[in-house]
Amino acid sequence: MYTGIGASAGIGIGSAVIVKEPSLAYDNKAVSDVDAEKKRLAEALDKCIAKTQAMADDMKERVGEKEAEILEGHVLLLMDPEMTGQMETSIADDKMCAEAAVEKICDYYMQMFSSIDDEMFQQRATDVCDIKTRLLKILLDVEDVDLANVPEGTVLVAEDLTPSMTAGINPKNVTGILTEVGGKTSHSAILARALEIPAIPGITEKISNGDKVVLDGSEGQTYINPDEKLQAEYEQKRVAYLEEKAALAQFVGKETKTADGVKVELCANIGKPEDALKVVECDGEGIGLFRTEFLFMDRPQIPTEEEQFAAYKKVAETLEGKPVIIRTLDVGGDKEIPYLALEKEENPFLGFRAIRLCLKREDLYRPQLKALLRASAYGDIRIMVPMVTCLDELRAVKNMIAELKEELKAEGVAYDENIKVGIMIETPAASLMADVFAKEADFFSIGTNDLTGYTMAVDRGNAEVAYLYSAYNPAVLRSIERVIKAGRAEGIMVGMCGEAAADPLLAPLLISFGMNEFSVSATSILATRKGISLWTKEEADAVAAKAM
């Protein structure tokens, strides 16, 4: 078994077909007739634009508007007078043939884009590479690899699947895609997900043409020539996956509401800006928790205000005006960041962490709050404070935000004057004071992961006491009930972003208590929408009364 990252979920079982791009070698001689060469280039550009537009139209019809946008972006690039002008200049001044001019200018843009450490620019580099290949093929009269007619039950294996190659795929025949390059957010991964074909990047070298391949795009696992028992096991998994998917498909694009029409909001939790796209793809109604600590991890120093601003803005823009709750830095305890050089503590879970740390380290906190305020001009960003235990902490954060707003105003920088500031309810102190907090916080989000641990006085890592770590425990349920009711009594939104929000058994209780936002992992969105739809308010009330 080979493990990679699952770029597109689902189980694929089939025979490997290795796709090799044809050679695009050409004779690199100086041209004598510059005008004729310019004409060749112009004709190739026209052909390429027409072809790409046709692929985009086909994609729009077969897959969707959003996916077609990638190819429409290619059309715009091909019409960019700056880029095509540089190609013409290379022919005129350097006597290059059209192929060499295309290659030189595309390589220049690819290099420029890929040197910028931003995913969007990296993707732009891939787009230019795809365009270069398409233009060279037209100039050299080389046929495209025909992916539309591969036999049924094909697992495509390729160095990379460019958006134009992926656009030609017939999902009826292709059961899986394995590429050497491309991450979870590459265009080919996005297209594979849109075509609902399981895909895994990073595993191709061990595979030969005709090999039997089983891939699990949800887990990122690939088996080459597995025995019959494993094949049968995965065949069953495949059927179960498809059945579950079909059952949930009816909830795509639907409102999240109970059987008798009580509406709630269904959002998702993310850790990285890139994850926001998945939330949109999975039909989330917003982001209920963006754990910003991931921006601070796996790097040598604090991300700058500028870097943070770019990350928050990206999420806000991806969500196109839907709510985005961004939690300020929650480190300490089990979340370590080496460069902060925090001292080892006897009881890290009860120590110097989250908001306690941020209020002492304004060098850390102010840039984050300022970045959040600046990004709030680009969407519905809300600020959430973690690990709150007393009112002074919330007030201190709000004061700091008020000061930063003044700073921004003086600098003439846009921000949302009415940005909401809410708190995580994940400590017994916050729960017991929920009625008081509800008067000063704009919203609550219940963090059952920590609230369960702190309420039950249980260390999650200790197997001896793990039986106590459950949100079903009456003490935790009472805490949840009082928080929801206290928040609703003051008319503020009360959500839940701990794992318990995705538990279908808890749904009737949360509905009965009046919770109005559920935030779950992107992959749990549809199942949670279904879970909520199964209950009427009356039935939920009856279950809650009995449980409590």
199 vs 476, beta carbon nearer Mg ion:
476
Is residue 12 within 8 Å of 214, Cβ to Cβ?
A: yes
Q: How far is the CB of 317 from ligand PEP (least distance, A)?
A: 24
For residue 132, the surrounding DSSP H or E stretch is: helix 119-140
Piece of 65-73, 140-148, 153-161, 425-433 that binds Mg ion (CB under 5 A): 425-433
248 vs 359, beta carbon nearer Mg ion:
359
**CA 25/CA 139 separation, integer angstroms:** 11
265 vs 450, beta carbon nearer ligand PEP:
450
319 vs 471, beta carbon nearer ligand PEP:
471
Q: Which of 202, 447, 453, 531 binds Mg ion (CB under 5 A)?
A: 447
86 binds, among Mg ion, ligand PEP, none (CB under 5 to 8 A by kind): none
**CA 205/CA 158 separation, integer angstroms:** 10
Is residue 437 within 8 Å of 391, Cβ to Cβ?
A: yes
Q: How far is the CB of 456 from Mg ion (least distance, A)?
A: 15
Tell me, yes or no, if 497 is annotated catalytic.
yes
* Contacts of residue 359, Cβ cutoff 8 Å, sequence gap at least 6: 365, 393, 396, 397
Q: Which amino acid is at 287?
A: I
Is residue 12 within 8 Å of 237, Cβ to Cβ?
A: no
Piece of 104-112, 147-155, 266-274, 426-434 that binds Mg ion (CB under 5 A): 426-434
Q: How far is the CB of 501 from ligand PEP (least distance, A)?
A: 9
182 binds, among ligand PEP, Mg ion, none (CB under 5 to 8 A by kind): none
Tell me, yes or no, if 74 is annotated catalytic.
no
Active-site entry in 48, 97, 187, 358: 187
Is residue 288 within 8 Å of 267, Cβ to Cβ?
A: yes
Q: Taking the CA of residue 51 as centre, how many other CA atoms within 13 Å lie in the half-sphere pointing to its CB?
A: 18
DSSP code string of 156-180 = EEES---HHHHHT--TTTEEEEEES
**CA 406/CA 408 separation, integer angstroms:** 5
Q: Is 250 in a helix, a strand, or coil?
A: coil
Q: How far is the CB of 450 from Mg ion (least distance, A)?
A: 4
Q: Which of 127, 160, 393, 450 binds Mg ion (CB under 5 A)?
A: 450
* Contacts of residue 276, Cβ cutoff 8 Å, sequence gap at least 6: 270, 287, 314, 315, 318, 319, 324
Residues that bind ligand PEP (CB under 6 A): 289, 291, 330, 426, 447-450, 497-498
Q: Which residue is nearest to Mg ion (CB)?
A: 450
73 vs 447, beta carbon nearer ligand PEP:
447
160 binds, among Mg ion, ligand PEP, none (CB under 5 to 8 A by kind): none
* Contacts of residue 364, Cβ cutoff 8 Å, sequence gap at least 6: 302, 329, 340, 357, 358
Q: Does 333 bind Mg ion (CB under 5 A)?
A: no
169 binds, among Mg ion, ligand PEP, none (CB under 5 to 8 A by kind): none
167 vs 276, beta carbon nearer ligand PEP:
276
Write out the catalytic residue numbers.
187, 497
Residues that bind Mg ion (CB under 5 A): 426, 447, 450
